[in-house]
Structure 1
């Protein structure tokens, strides 16, 4: 199979779909890999690294899309890429269709085969291709939140860990999934007081079992959320609905209940966000302020740490890339139910139920 590796062009997206080790495995299996020049530079991999393992370096993104039967990416295609996508071409990447009608319509019109990392699902219900980026984003949420709590950038002026004689900052985490667990771990490590909310008691019991005593759990309800936002310094939104839009757990009117300078980090922004006031931002302009509340809603948070993120992502995507390349998407999906769940749009038709339901009468 002919596999294309384009350079990511979303704002400050420095990750790349495959590292040279992944290209090596594909070439070893008899496939041709076309890498756009400088595609891996942001992650620390130069063209010579790819060429040394058998990749063919091509000059531009148009050539990659023209030659490839399958495109392996990190982020969803953006508008300038839409015309490059060909009928029957397999696009394997993060899509997050629920957050963009424009993208969904464009992929339907392209009649390509869209396989989304974020809906590939193991037998136990875990999302193996989303997990490593959720781990990165959960940890980064605290790192970024701690920075934006500083007064010069309009935060409350709180040091999360406190100092002797001064109480630590308070972190509220919405969702006890991968993002929430990693955020709680990082915040606890800094010495902050952490409250984590979820509606899944099994997850809350797990948090209780593994976290120190200054991480407390509560059942998530509108009442509890309203109560906690009044006295927490940093709020992390880490709620996930597989393939669907995230629920709005904090509404615009709730902002008035918070203390000025409170920071909200919405890790669910790729799925539409779990704050009503969420709008996607970039690493170039990561924050905005509404009612004196600092919002950090960068849609590709792991792109800021591309070396770590690219290695972590390729660790889990490569086995699936090899299956798709060796067998073709139809046979690979027929033999692997987890990969079949990654099928979102196939040749003009939405085939993933949650996305189909969400976009009924919209596209």
Structure 2
């Protein structure tokens, strides 16, 4: 039974390509809950279960819609906050408030690449992008990082310029109100983005939420500059501007690590533990080979090698692969596609010997 590979597409119901092994492959039609080759669909018709592709498609689409709602709301709140702060910055000449305004503007604009990513993520897989377009979210995360870095550099430049050429800050009461408005607006957006990002599994949206949260706390730092200016200390405002820049750098580091992990196919080890425990609990699975999980956008895909009795028929081994897949879907949140490869306990020589010189 070595080489019997079974693959289901649950996220978007697109089974492009085949899960291939030495014995047989299973082609999967498009738009079916468990699209399979002839005969297999009948088996699922006789033993249906709830994980139909239509339900998974609805869940994926709802995740994208929820992400888009979050982005539009964030854009509205931060756009209004940025406009207010820009007016006060022009009146007061506060470089600390300028840095905060730049960060808020950058944070609002990050809704653009994220929005594009969510729209692209809805597109169906095809013969060129066989895994779909979910990776667009990871690219959007890189765009978010670039925007954060650019706004940070500009704020640092303005703060250093003000240190070298000090100027008075006026309209301190307006600066205070603008700083408070920046904190409230950013904290609301941060909570919404982080909560939604974690719920739908979007690392880019979580990174964007962390960015907004930092901007909220840096808005409060503007109050220190306003207080120093009120006491006649002209350097207080640019020093706070530099402090804001340093805070943004710290969050940029955390966000870069989050996005970098996603680009490198990192997953939480707890997910792998859950998957392996679920597979070992399937009756008939004697041992496990390699188990791998990766993110594609805000959905997970898994590949698992299971060891079974060498005397099983093709039908029995395939039924066991379906049971293993079913167990994985229950055990791993946001898992939308699984490929299960059945191997058998040793009988005679190594069945994988023809692959040895390929390094497989």
TM-score clears 0.5: no
Task: Give TM class, smaller chain.
Answer: under 0.3
Using the size of structure 1 for normalisation, the TM-score is 0.25
With normalisation by structure 2, the TM-score equals 0.25
Q: Which has the higher helix share?
A: 2
Q: Counting strand residues as a fraction of each chain, which structure ranks higher?
A: 1
